[in-house]
Amino acid sequence: MLKFDFLVIGSGIAGLSYALKTASLGSVAVITKKRKSDSNTNYAQGGIAAVMSPTDSFEKHIADTLTTGCGLSHPDIVERIVKNGPACIEELISQGVQFSHEPQTKVEQLELSREGGHSERRVVHVADFTGREIEKALLERMHENANITLYENHIAVDLITVEATGGKQCIGVTCLDSRNHHARDFYAGSVLLATGGEGVVYKHTTNPPIATGDGVAMAYRAGASVSNMEFIQFHPTTLYHPVGNSFLISEAVRGEGALLLTRRGERFMHKYHAMAELAPRDAVARAIDAELKASGDLYVYLDMTHLGSEFIKVRFPQIYQTCLELGIDVTKERIPVVPAAHYCCGGVRTDPDGRTDIKSLFACGEVAMTGMHGANRLASNSLLEAIATARFAANVAEVVDISRFIDGVARTRRVNGVGERLKRKEQVLLEHDRSELLNLMWDYVGVVRSDYRLNRAQERVSILARDIDDYVRTRGLSYEATELRNLATCAKLIVDFALERKESRGLHYNNDHPETDDINWKRELTRKEGRWL
Ligand code: FAD
Ligand code: SIN
């Protein structure tokens, strides 16, 4: 039997940070669905927002976060996380992350960049590959820790829960070992969901293929509350290119002065927002969407040629190199860009310490809805939220004895046949369903929504979700079916939440309800077991 004190599902910043802390309390298993570094974290470019300069203040960072969150961020959570920022940066430095420093200063000083919605320079970064360096450092520390066992290529399929005093309790997870298609049950007194986001539910996304919303879907199936799913963040500037499609061009590029231009070479952002190119992301993505719809063009341009060749190569080496390999020299040419799905502000509802409403089930990072981001996330606040909440959750972590549950559960599950080789048949049906789902989310539930499109999406997503459930019931689960079932659950949640909110706020913009309605809708939507709470 695979039994640990702590089970961590996901090896991004949230999962690894938590695992490294709880390993001092007991044994830890980190389960991850592909290779250990396959995560959104690994792709983060811009950096981590934290108050690190004497001209900045917690009050300013809190105010910027609350303004961007459009009335739905929880001020107490925002304050707690923002005030933890400097300690999070120190922790990462102590774990071996070498952040970029200001050149030519006598005292060692972190280089701080600026991104949309920030009133100050406060984004700590490693050139334009911050996430890769964080992931590398955390994985190195994990490997040095004898109390942590890593399981790669294990996709968590469903949480194992029991009825306990005071309600449901999570005691483990059933996984599929994708190398041999065998199911395995892992048991633990505490389970952390750190499975990241669900950008892959959209045809065009900055997210890597692992981001299929597995954590949200598993928790929702198990009976946890899910909130704010209508608030999907579209990053305004991803590369428009037949091969390198959706490669992120960091917001930090605009922070350093890059400009958005129509294909005719005209600036347009000042028509939409006083902060022009440095407006929060929702405003920039909607402005680009409006320009594309008005002109019929397929992309706008991002122009950083005036920043200087040397500066670009040092500050944005990954963007420079990747674009060059695709035939665009960003020091001399404008970059064709379009918005793409990037981040989900909603997720599994948690308290300030990461507890979900299922006992012993915690959630941290992008999978969670802590109250930090509200209706829109301030740039570079998600790595901060992930590491800060992993610290909070680890602070309340304790070893829980579940031996009294395990015997009974293990017997029942043996009877149900878990552990048998699962069937993989008719994969082609799954591929068709997946492509239909991603296309319809992109076409009907995108940057700008309408009741008509959302209603169409709801009908079609419901049919697809039913088909996929039938497929799973009759043919069993495979890696692909597990992901698709979760994508369909997340798609359904996103559409249901978007249809329910009859106003426009933050990342949710509906042409049929274009105004923000503080009287009726300045509140979060939460769904649990098919009901609105
Ligand atoms: P992830 O890093 O996504 O990790 C999730 C882990 O869970 C992965 O290991 C995955 O394989 C695993 N997993 C998922 N499902 C399962 C399953 N069923 N079973 C087992 N394992 C599973 N944010 C910022 O603050 N600053 C930035 O500069 C920034 N840049 C970004 C750039 C890009 C291109 C992208 C895509 C995102 C960016 N973000 C940025 C957002 C940020 O990277 C993520 O929100 C953050 O990394 C999420 O961390 P996480 O630990 O919650 O999840
Ligand atoms: C970026 O570098 O533009 C991404 C930052 C983020 O998603 O917070």
**Residue 419 has which token pair?**
């552990």
Beta carbon of 15 within 6 Å of any ligand 1 atom: yes
- Mutating to test ligand 2, I would choose from 39, 100, 235, 254 the residue with most ligand atoms within 8 A of its C-beta, which is 235
pLDDT of residue 283: 92
Same domain, 363 and 335: no
Same domain, 226 and 336: no
Residue 93 placed within a domain: no
Beta carbon of 237 within 6 Å of any ligand 2 atom: no
pLDDT of residue 181: 83
Of 296, 317, 341, at which residue does a domain stop? Answer: 341
pLDDT of residue 426: 66
Nearest CA to ligand 2 atom 8: 380
Same domain, 148 and 274: no
Half-sphere exposure of 86 (CA within 13 A, CB side): 9
Same domain, 322 and 272: yes
pLDDT of residue 415: 59
Q: Quote the DSSP letter at residue 98.
A: -
Beta carbon of 336 within 6 Å of any ligand 2 atom: no
Residue 246 placed within a domain: yes
For the domain that residue 160 is a member of, what is the CATH number? 3.50.50.60
- Mutating to test ligand 1, I would choose from 195, 322, 345, 483 the residue with most ligand atoms within 8 A of its C-beta, which is 195
- Residue 243 CA to residue 262 CA, distance in Å, equals 22
- Residue 330 CA to residue 312 CA, distance in Å, equals 8
Same domain, 194 and 213: yes
Residue 375 placed within a domain: yes
Residue 210 placed within a domain: yes
Beta carbon of 38 within 6 Å of any ligand 2 atom: no
Same domain, 352 and 335: no
Of 370, 385, 410, at which residue does a domain stop? Answer: 410
- Residue 424 CA to residue 196 CA, distance in Å, equals 26
Return the bridge partners of 470, or none. Answer: none
Strands (E), 364-439: 368-369
Domain count, the chain: 3
Which residues constitute the domain of residue 429?
Answer: 421-524
Residue 27 placed within a domain: yes
Residue 145 placed within a domain: yes
Of 324, 341, 358, at which residue does a domain stop? Answer: 341
Same domain, 520 and 426: yes
Same domain, 277 and 373: no
Task: Report CA torsion sign: 507, 510, 515, 518.
Answer: negative
Residue 103 placed within a domain: no
User: What is the 349 CA–ligand 1 centroid distance (Å)?
Assistant: 18
Nearest CA to ligand 2 atom 4: 46
Same domain, 441 and 299: no
Same domain, 147 and 221: yes
For the domain that residue 331 is a member of, what is the CATH number? 3.90.700.10
Same domain, 148 and 25: yes
Return the bridge partners of 239, or none. Answer: 337
Q: Quote the DSSP letter at residue 107.
A: S
Nearest CA to ligand 1 atom 15: 195
Residue 200 placed within a domain: yes
Could you give the residue numbers annotated as active site? 281
pLDDT along the chain (533 residues), means of 10: 95 98 98 97 97 96 97 98 98 97 79 93 97 98 98 97 94 93 93 98 96 98 98 97 89 96 97 94 94 94 98 97 97 97 98 97 98 97 98 97 87 61 66 95 96 98 94 86 96 98 97 98 98 97
Atom of ligand 2 nearest to the CA of 380: 8
For the domain that residue 486 is a member of, what is the CATH number? 1.20.58.100
pLDDT of residue 475: 82
User: What is the 39 CA–ligand 1 centroid distance (Å)?
Assistant: 5
Same domain, 372 and 337: no
Which ligand is closest in space to the CA of residue 384?
1
